[in-house]
Amino acid sequence: MMRWRHLIGTSLLLAASVSATAGDFAGTVTHVTDGDTLWVRPASGGAPRQIRLQGIDAPEICQAFGSQARDALAARVLRRQVEVRSRATDSYHRALAHVSLGDDDLGAWMVKRGYAWSYRFHNDPGPYARQQAHARKAGLGLWRGDAPVSPREFRKRHGSCSGKPGALALQNP
């Protein structure tokens, strides 16, 4: 009997944590960690929520073009009102979300300007393949280099950026 109560309690706790990060809401960007992660304080109140932009993969912060991607996203959205549409969380407990600033989808904005890759899964080129092709053809952002290394490949070769130079986040004063 005690085991069932524990299981039910754990399930309720998990459901509460998912509902705390998933869903649609408007809020203000308070912090930008890197080119695909930001924090949004809901307009309805409460603590800022960590959001991972769905559909893109930006360079790691210690990787070539990582700080430029973070700075571009911060310049675009820091202290601004955004709309968040989330349906899931990732393995780091971040809400996976499409975030928009007015009519701009931030994922599309980042990829089109060469600050991130369209997130690929197996043979699927990802949701922003057209924007990536545009940036690559125009030589924008990370596509200025000879052979940009995807964040996935960078992590395989070098590991995480934790504790390495450039890992500091841009924060709201």
Q: Measured between alpha carbons, how far is residue 76 from residues 11, 14, 27, 31, 110 in Å?
A: 38, 33, 15, 12, 10
Does 138 fall in a domain? yes
- Per-residue confidence (pLDDT) for residue 74, from 0 to 100: 98
- Per-residue confidence (pLDDT) for residue 159, from 0 to 100: 86
- The residues that are catalytic are 52, 60, 94
Structural domain tally of the chain? 1
Count of residues making up the chain:
173
Does 1 fall in a domain? no
- Per-residue confidence (pLDDT) for residue 5, from 0 to 100: 47
> What single-letter amino acid sits at 120?
R
Structure tokens at 72: 């571009």
Does 5 fall in a domain? no
How far apart are alpha carbons 150 and 152 in whole angstroms? 5
- Per-residue confidence (pLDDT) for residue 163, from 0 to 100: 56
The enclosing domain of 148 has a CATH number of 2.40.50.90
Does 10 fall in a domain? no
- Per-residue confidence (pLDDT) for residue 147, from 0 to 100: 87
Q: Which residues contact 84 (CB under 8 A, 6 or more apart)?
A: 24, 25, 26, 27, 40, 49, 51, 95, 97, 98, 99
- Residue 94's nearest CA partner among 39, 43, 16, 30 is 39
Does 137 fall in a domain? yes
Does 170 fall in a domain? no
Are residues 97 and 51 in contact, defined by beta-carbon separation less than 8 angstroms? yes
- Residue 126's nearest CA partner among 111, 145, 106 is 111
User: Would you call 56 helix, strand, or coil by DSSP?
Assistant: strand
> Range of 116's domain?
20-164
Are residues 106 and 82 in contact, defined by beta-carbon separation less than 8 angstroms? yes
pLDDT digits (tens), the chain, 173 positions? 545 444 444 444 444 444 445 689 999 999 999 999 999 999 999 999 999 999 999 999 999 999 999 999 999 999 999 999 999 999 889 999 999 999 999 999 999 999 999 998 888 889 999 999 999 999 999 999 778 999 999 999 998 887 554 433 444 43
- Per-residue confidence (pLDDT) for residue 161, from 0 to 100: 81
pTM: 0.81
- Per-residue confidence (pLDDT) for residue 22, from 0 to 100: 62
The enclosing H or E element of 53 equals strand 49-53
- Per-residue confidence (pLDDT) for residue 23, from 0 to 100: 87
